[in-house]
Copies of this chain bind each other. A is one copy, B any other.
């Protein structure tokens, strides 16, 4: 057990798995000697050599495309896209190739790869260092989509993702790399070390894909969240003294619908939370599923807390970000409806 922030936990997952499995290769922009702009791959090139961890040309399409070839050969590429905002040049290779390979070859060629990428805002990164594009991937059959919310899960989920035979898009909420963020941008930053989920076991362990976690039990309503928003939701619930049940989805695709249904059927109310742009976000899928499956238990419409339908504007970060006030108002709306 070592206290680790999310970057350290993710770095450790790499280290543990690269030592166990010689077929894992790590590459991406700046990930080699330097260890990545967020330091997630720090030290790996030194430890495992230049052909196991190396810098890639600035070509997200080339990174994913060559990873497809490597997976076809039998390796397990574990690649980094420097920011989720820059995944689009690799989009064709991801949705047309990575996602569909097992299917189109009737299982002959599989794509056991992990595509890691920091996503989300709250770091004054402006329009192109703040995006949350998960809904573009959850619409794409064949991919698994995983988003951790703390160091313990980050390591365990990443190891599970690496071991999974299917391709996994692993989005890392960069705002909470160094500490949990409750949405109060005007309060001092907290480090992970004060949070029990920074107690990260050394060595190998997994947090299974496809399993959500009830991170707070409650009776009044069910809150569905993932990534940074888990912390924002929890904090708003405590601040407002609401007896909410909070589910950290952890895996968006395939979704742990059983856990969600059980909770909503119990509470009769549901709020879904995402940082992403509102229209067509993953929250819409969640709300749809919940009302399809729990309609007769629902006492109020399923509400959404989301980012706005604008690009992420640099100076207006805290007007855009779905923070404590938006959370509070939505919680009230669901409870009072």
**Contacts A95-B88, A301-B295 hold; do A139 and B277 have CB atoms under 8 A apart?**
yes
Taken together as a complex, chains A and B put the C-alpha atoms of A288 and B91 apart, in Å, by: 27
Number of copies: 2
Alpha-carbon separation in the docked complex, A140 to B135 (Å): 10
Say whether, besides A92-B88, A142-B311, A310-B103, A304 and B288 are in contact (CB < 8 Å).
yes
Binary B-proximity of A37-51 (CB < 8 A = 1, otherwise 0): 000000000000000
Would you call A206 an interface residue if the criterion is a C-beta within 8 Å of the partner chain's C-beta atoms? Answer: no
B104 touches A311 (CB 8 A): yes
Q: How large is the interface on A (under 10, 10 to 19, 20 to 34, 35 or more residues)?
A: 35 or more
Q: Are B136 and A139 in contact (CB under 8 A)?
A: yes
Interface string of A281-310 (1 = CB under 8 A from B): 111110110011101001011111000011
What are 12 A-B pairs at a CB distance below 8 A? A88-B91, A91-B91, A96-B128, A138-B279, A139-B276, A139-B280, A141-B310, A280-B284, A287-B291, A288-B291, A291-B291, A292-B304
User: How long is the Cα–Cα vector from A310 to B309 in the complex, in angstroms?
Assistant: 29
Residues of B within 8 A of A13 (CB): none
Contacts of A300 in B (CB 8 A): 295
Q: Is A89 located at the chain interface by the 8 A CB criterion?
A: yes
Which residue numbers of A lie inside 8 Å of B, CB to CB? 61, 85, 88-89, 91-92, 95-96, 100, 103-104, 127-128, 135-136, 138-142, 253, 276-277, 279-285, 287-288, 291-293, 295, 298, 300-304, 309-311, 337
When C-beta atoms are compared, the residue in chain B nearest to A310 turns out to be B141
The answer for the CA separation of A85 and B97 in the assembled complex, in Å, is 12
Residues of B within 8 A of A310 (CB): 103, 141
B residues within 8 A CB of A127?
100, 103-104
- CB A123 to nearest CB in B, in angstroms, measures 18
Rounded to whole angstroms, the CA-CA distance of A292 and B85 in the bound complex is 30
- B141 and A309 contact, CB distance less than 8 A: yes
What is the bound-complex CA distance between A88 and B95, given in angstroms?
Answer: 8
